[in-house]
Structure 1
Amino acid sequence: MDFTLTERQAYWRDRVRDFIEAHVRPRDHDYHAQQAEGGRWKVLPVIEEEKARAKAAGIWNLFMPPASGRPHVDDSFEFDGPGLTNLEYALCAEEMGRIGWASEVFNCSAPDTGNMEVLHRYGTRDQKDRWLKPLMNGEIRSAFLMTEPAVASSDATNIETRITRDGDDYVINGRKWWSSGAGDPRCEIAIVMGKTDFEAQRHAQQSMILMPLDAPGVKILRHLPVFGYDDAPHGHMEIELENVRVPVENMLLGEGRGFEIAQGRLGPGRIHHCMRTIGVAEEAIEKMAKRLLSRVAFGKAVAEHSVWEQRIAEARIDIEMCRLLCLKAADMMDKAGNKAAQAEIAMIKVAAPRMALRIIDDAIQAHGGAGVSEDFGLAKAYAGIRTLRLADGPDEVHNRAIARLEFGKHGGRDAIAAAKAAAGAR
């Protein structure tokens, strides 16, 4: 195995890293100062300014597929991006994860990344013209409405939102929550997952449809803070959908295709999250090390106390292991497809947030009372990463998938059935 980065991989990673260090990190204080002024739900000038700079530099929409070389028979070229592979993008995503708002600067923040991929892959030309183009230009934001408060949404077949055909419209009724991005005043479109046929086969009941946020009947009930953090201007909202009418042409791919779309959307998104998480962990270990070297307790630098040597060493080991697993998953997705990489995707989705939480928790401890304050950003980082143990499927769902794949190597269902039969016979 050759773990050396290719020239292209290093080129894109370094461009992102250098831009962040030159333009994003120096303006982090501007970001927080602007967020503290006036209302919470607003567009921050610092983000728009740095977006324009990144776009002009060509560090933009990095996750979007490349020009295919085919004749322009439909919409191929107009909606293409730089064409980074999952592996190449993973290296860039880690750099973006080091500062919370960096991803948006490159037009690479969730849920827009996943929504743009859905529109690119499954959208019609009209849908792309109306929604994908302004999303790729960074002119608007989007939301993804899937989770519901009334059901266990870890099993997406439980969702109860109804999407009913009525003439030339679909009528949407239901209640969603943790609708990330819906608090942003630039958020104009949402992808909604609901059921068009409650009697169809289990995974053919669901559909996805495009819903303008300003459609009559869309009501934002409340904002949902995460451990007290509002994540403005992005936010997470609970939304009531009451007789919301959207044109028939807003359906994505066709009725009953929602699960198919979801699986295409979530695989790459999970890798993006995990690599950003590794960036968060790198920031935390750096802050921890600097704090330990700068403080004295009981007559010597805190870094010289053996307990902290152990914690720093374990943090570095854990980061390196998770990075390799994440890059392996991304490489498998590129070479063999998402399905072939499903075990690796599930494993890193469990491992990365747990790893980062341990390191952030140790960093908080190293900072003492300052660690739980707003001064070092560690408490907010912990809140954000803790959410990832639930987002895009909770740990338990991914562990279940990993276990089933493992059992499958050794007889799987047949072995379980035989064991049950033997137990019954006794």
Structure 2
Amino acid sequence: MSSLLDNSGMSERAIEIAGRVERFVRETVIPFERDPRLGPHGPEESLVIELKELGRKAGVLSPHILEGGDHLTQRETAAVLIRSGLSPLGPIACNTAAPDEGNMFLIGKVGSAEMKERFLAPMVQGRKRSAFFMTEPAEDGGAGSDPMMMLSTCEQDGNHWVINGRKAYITGADGAGVGIIMAKSGDGACMFLVDLPDPAIRIERVMDTIDSSMPGGHAVVTIDNLRVPADQMLGQPGEGFKYAQVRLAPARLSHCMRWLGACLRANEIATDYANRRMAFGKKLIDHEGVGFMLAENRIDLKQAELMTYWCADVLDTGAYGTTESSMTKVAVSEALMRIADRSVQCMGGQGVTADTIVEQVFREIRAFRIYDGPTEVHKWSLAKKIKRDWERSQ
């Protein structure tokens, strides 16, 4: 297993599962990184299916979900998801990718038995992908970092709810089989589970974005008089934000896990390059400017790992971990950006080519600094908490 990761305090089952995942990603998945079915909007569906079938045969499909539906602890999940992230394709092959991983967690926590059988089971089995419909187009003035601005509506009509609105940046909507839709009723936000595709949900376009690792890309979607049976609402009317909180911190943290794995790999590639490449009479690693960058990478990697496990431990107490996950998202995403940037810089011209995945990791991490809340929004939220805590202490 990766020599830079610490397994102290980790359960034996997590170490064993993480080891299998790492071997699978390194030996089986990485060779697919040059597959021609990789495009600007993510891997084509045929590649997704092939990778998941390989994961199924290797016994590492949905490795964080145990037989009977039990979930690894968040600390254990971190050990596994970090290893799945060693390739941008690893989370797809292991079925630990966003948004599916977060959606599976949510349905597993709050879904009814019928919902779990109908919607969750095929997702855990890797038979269906999913999408989470919350964010709305900026030009409409809809919900983005501030979900309270939600414009999409839902109105009850007999034993159905009728949903209307537009959504944006909906990861994986193109090709998804399950959707979780948030909309606003008179009682507040509501959350619904729906089968996809549905003629009432129209993909306007798949956006061209800086990242390219997620199947289906990121779509702008129109929802036009979508009728959803009342028993497909999660919880009661007005409880949508409550359930969003259940999903929020674990899904935010799992992003940190997967992209930490990607940056471990980028640093490995940059380190190997610096120890082989000669310039001005000696190896790049022996030039202080390069050697110091790799030393700083090692420091940032360890700090990111420790923050990730710290937040996981908080979530394992049963707490929402909203503050802790905000702190972790800021610290880890910013550290990973530095690591990815230095890895590119250490490799010079080679670092900006697609000859290795270092260039892709740089693009993906740049997007991650915005996804699941930009750094500035998390800092603003933390500052508000600092003020509240101070006021209470007076």
Question: TM-score, normalised on structure 2?
Answer: 0.90
| Pairing 1:107–2:86 present | no
1:283 and 1:133 mapped to 2: Cα distance?
A: 32
Aligned to 1:209: 192
Aligned to 2:153: 162
Alignment of 1:7-406 (within 5 A): 7-29=12-34, 32-35=35-38, 42-45=44-47, 47-64=48-65, 77=68, 80-81=69-70, 83-149=71-137, 150=140, 151=142, 153-184=144-175, 187-197=176-186, 200=187, 205-227=188-210, 229-231=211-213, 233-334=215-316, 336-339=317-320, 341-406=321-386
2:95 and 2:15 mapped to 1: Cα distance?
A: 20
> How big is each residue's C-alpha offset from its partner over 1:151-208, in whole Å with a ceiling of 9 and x where there is no partner?
3511111110001112232111111011001123xx12211111011xx5xxxx1011
| Unaligned stretches of 5+ residues in structure 1 | 68-76, 416-426
Tell me the SS of whatever aligns to 1:18. Answer: helix
1:40 and 1:314 mapped to 2: Cα distance?
A: 31
Question: TM-score, normalised on structure 1?
Answer: 0.84
Aligned to 1:73: none
Does structure 2 conserve the Cα–Cα contact (< 8 Å) formed by 1:63 and 1:113? no
Q: Matched residue pairs, number?
A: 385
Opposite residue 61 of structure 2, the aligned amino acid is W
> How big is each residue's C-alpha offset from its partner over 1:362-413, in whole Å with a ceiling of 9 and x where there is no partner?
121222223222222223222211222222222123223333444455x336
Does structure 2 conserve the Cα–Cα contact (< 8 Å) formed by 1:353 and 1:388? yes
Of 264-273 and 391-400, more deviation after overlay is shown by 391-400
* Identity score, percent: 33
For the aligned residue pairs, the C-alpha RMSD in angstroms reads: 2.4
1:373 and 1:26 mapped to 2: Cα distance?
A: 17
Opposite residue 24 of structure 1, the aligned amino acid is V
1:9 and 1:160 mapped to 2: Cα distance?
A: 42
Tell me the SS of whatever aligns to 1:270. Answer: helix
1:161 and 1:408 mapped to 2: Cα distance?
A: 31
1:19 and 1:59 mapped to 2: Cα distance?
A: 8
Note closer, same or farther for the CA distance 1:126–1:85 as it changes in structure 2 (3 Å cut).
same
Note closer, same or farther for the CA distance 1:7–1:210 as it changes in structure 2 (3 Å cut).
closer
Tell me the SS of whatever aligns to 1:241. Answer: strand
The structure that has the greater radius of gyration is 1
Shift of 1:126: 2.7
Does structure 2 conserve the Cα–Cα contact (< 8 Å) formed by 1:163 and 1:171? yes
Shift of 1:263: 0.4
> How big is each residue's C-alpha offset from its partner over 1:275-328, in whole Å with a ceiling of 9 and x where there is no partner?
112112111211211222222222322222111121111110111011011101
Opposite residue 223 of structure 1, the aligned amino acid is V
